[in-house]
């Protein structure tokens, strides 16, 4: 019993580890550093943690770089797609502008043609092929018990002078009448109608398309007269107007 107690009383000696630093200089002394077992374990843990941190950091950097690269690739693809779409839109816009230009030119040409047609249809031309004397008159008529005054121009011209259309139109009336002998009406559209009256038989019939300057009558003077007479009138929207408002007289 006494021996056992003596053994228990003996202190257990601690274990140490030494790190020796030896220089190649003969004059330098050997340096030593002592470590306990616990200190070494702590160093090992710290080194392990440091290694794990470095590995994690490198992994994180690589992952972040990979994600950034993928984003860059995605952005590049998006930019290329947008550039392609923009090029397509630009080409489509150019094609559309070209079509608009062609359409605009076509519309302008159509407007010009329509204007030319309308201008040719307006009864502004002189209704005789040669020179003539003219006199503005008012024709007085009794319609439904009321006196109606209709303006006209009476031309006096020599034999062989042609009565011609003052604008493009369609013959709407060919009839005999008491005042001059024959009457022809031409519908020019846009509300305009011209009336031509003289004593000779017309050269046209109802439904004929007649151009400006087209032949309607050939003047022949009546027996006992020196010249032939032609009455000319213009109707606009069913109202008789003074022919001088439309007539272009040159010379």
Predicted local distance difference test score (pLDDT) of residue 251:
44
Burial (0-12, 13-18, 19+ Cβ within 10 Å), 184 = buried
DSSP, res 236: E
pLDDT in tens, the chain (251 residues): 555 455 555 555 656 666 667 767 676 676 777 777 777 788 888 888 888 888 888 888 888 888 888 888 888 888 888 888 888 888 888 888 888 888 888 777 777 766 666 677 789 999 999 888 999 999 988 888 888 899 999 999 999 999 999 999 999 999 999 889 999 999 999 899 999 999 999 999 999 999 999 999 999 988 878 889 999 999 999 999 999 988 875 54
pLDDT at 145: 83
Residue with tokens 């006199």: 135
Predicted local confidence at residue 217, as pLDDT: 97
CB 219 within 8 A of CB 200: yes
Assigned superfamily of 133-245: Glucose Permease (Domain IIA) (2.70.70.10)
pLDDT score, position 116: 67
State the pLDDT at residue 205: 97
> What residues does each domain of the chain span?
1-85, 133-245
Q: 181 near 199, Cβ under 8 Å?
A: yes
CA–CA gap between residue 29 and residue 23 (Å, rounded)? 8
Written as six digits, the tokens of 199 are 């004593």
pLDDT score, position 230: 95
CA atoms within 13 Å, Cβ hemisphere of 108: 6
Query: Residue 172 and residue 190: Cα distance in Å, rounded?
Result: 14
Phi, psi of 146 (to 5 degrees): -115, 145
104 contacts 155 by C-beta, under 8 angstroms: no
- The confidence score (pLDDT) of residue 7 equals 53
């Amino acid at each position: 019993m006494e021996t056992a107690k003596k053994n228990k009383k003996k202190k257990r000696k601690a274990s140490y580890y030494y790190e020796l630093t030896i220089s190649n200089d003969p004059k330098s002394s050997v340096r030593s550093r002592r470590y306990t077992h616990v200190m070494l374990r702590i160093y090992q843990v710290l080194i392990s943690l440091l290694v794990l941190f470095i590995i994690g950091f490198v992994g994180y950097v690589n992952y972040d770089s990979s994600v950034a690269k993928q984003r860059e690739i995605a952005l590049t693809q998006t930019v290329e797609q947008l550039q392609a779409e923009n090029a397509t839109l630009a080409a489509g816009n150019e094609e559309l502008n070209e079509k608009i230009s062609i359409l605009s030119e076509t519309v302008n040409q159509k407007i010009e043609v329509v204007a030319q047609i309308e201008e040719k249809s307006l009864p502004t031309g002189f209704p005789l092929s040669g020179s003539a004397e003219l006199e503005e008159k008012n024709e007085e008529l009794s319609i439904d018990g009321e006196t109606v005054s209709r303006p006209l121009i009476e031309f006096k011209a020599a034999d062989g002078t042609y009565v011609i259309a003052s604008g493009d139109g369609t013959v709407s009336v060919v009839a005999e009448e008491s005042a001059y002998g024959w009457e022809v009406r031409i519908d020019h559209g846009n509300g305009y109608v011209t009336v031509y009256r003289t004593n000779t038989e017309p050269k046209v019939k109802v439904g004929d398309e007649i151009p400006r300057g087209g032949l309607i009558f050939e003047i022949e003077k009546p027996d006992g007269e020196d010249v032939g007479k032609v009455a000319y009138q213009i109707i606009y929207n069913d109202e008789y107007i003074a022919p001088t408002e439309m007539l272009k007289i040159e010379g």
